[in-house]
Amino acid sequence: MSAAATDVATSVTVERRSSAGELLGHVELDASIFGVELNVPLLHQVVTAQLAARRSGTQSTRTRAEVKGGSAKPYRQKGTGNARQGSIRAPHYSGGGVALGPKPRSYAQRTPRKMVQQALRCALSDRAGSGRISVVDCWTFEVPKTKDAVKFLTAAGCSGTILLVMGRDDVLAARSFANLPNVASVPADQLSAYDVLAADCIVFTDATLPGEVVVLADAAAAPKAKRATKPKAEVVAEPEVVAEPEVAEAESAATEPEVESVVTEPESAPTEAPTATDGAATDDAVTEDAATEDAATEDAASDEESN
């Protein structure tokens, strides 16, 4: 059967939620994957091949050569009135071998790769057209918790058989949904058309959603998401403003209190050194005294002579 490309339908828009079930907005799915025309014969052939490949093919029965016993002829060839028999392990005997019974074999059918890819696009388009596709930004399970898993499914409106398309690192999320009987998980690189058609609702993450996805701005959901994801306010100390040197000096001079300067005079003033004028006056006084003494000596000498 040919797997030619089909006509691309209109784009599909779905809701995008957080792992807690809060609405974050809407995304527009890739129309080349989620908006192709449904091809039922192609889906039937691919799904039949996928179911056949799942068969183990390990069933086996014993032929008359593999059953123990029956090597001797049960009775002689002639003279008994019965039909001739060569072994009691023949297929028509109880406990005998099985004629044309199943043997180990492979039931796999060869299917072209392009047919498998197109069938998967058709299955995803069918689920997207009926509103059975959900998108979550990422799984944020710190520990496996079934209660949080049920909370998300309830908020997303998923019911019936649910298929979770997860990444290889979403181990905690897979364990959180493992206890739910109507939920199955599959790695993104192993998703098949049969898995999609067998589920009523398919949940993708941003990392596992195929194709180019356009996140639409939702005015109604954006404030709600912002309130839900807004962290607690932290008290941030205001940075200290370092003033320039000149301004700092002026401010310090303005803010410092005025201190009155108190000058303490010494108790005794230091003796002033004699100046040159004072020295000259002293010499003149000494000369006058000497002259007076000389005059007195002369007067005394004259008196003695007169006597």
Any domain includes 85: no
Query: Phi and psi (nearest 5°) for 19?
Result: -65, -15
- Ordered per-residue pLDDT tens for the chain, 307 residues: 344 444 445 678 888 999 888 888 889 998 999 999 999 999 999 999 999 999 999 999 999 999 999 889 999 999 999 999 999 999 999 999 999 999 999 999 999 999 999 999 999 999 999 889 999 999 989 899 999 999 999 998 888 999 999 998 999 999 999 999 999 999 999 999 999 999 999 999 999 999 887 887 654 444 444 434 444 445 445 555 554 555 455 555 555 555 454 445 545 544 555 544 455 455 555 566 666 666 666 776 666 666 5
Q: Is 201 exposed, middle or buried (0-12, 13-18, 19+ CB in 10 A)?
A: buried
Q: Is residue 97 part of a domain?
A: no
pTM for this prediction = 0.61
Full strand arrangement of the beta sheet holding 201-205: 183-187, 162-166, 201-205, 133-136, 13-17, 23-28, 214-216
Within 8 A by CB and 6+ apart from 122, the residues are: 6, 36, 37, 38, 39, 42, 43, 193
With respect to residue 280, please indicate whether it lies within any of the assigned structural domains: no
Q: Is 132 a member of any domain? A: yes
| 8 located within any domain | no
Domain count, the chain: 1
Q: Does the residue 240 lie in any domain?
A: no
Expressed as residue numbers, the domain containing 35 is 13-55+105-229
Rounded to the nearest angstrom, the gap between the alpha carbon of residue 114 and the centroid of all alpha carbons in its chain is 34
171 domain-assigned: yes
Residue 274 is assigned to a structural domain of this protein: no
Q: Which CATH number fits the domain that encloses residue 168? A: 3.40.1370.10
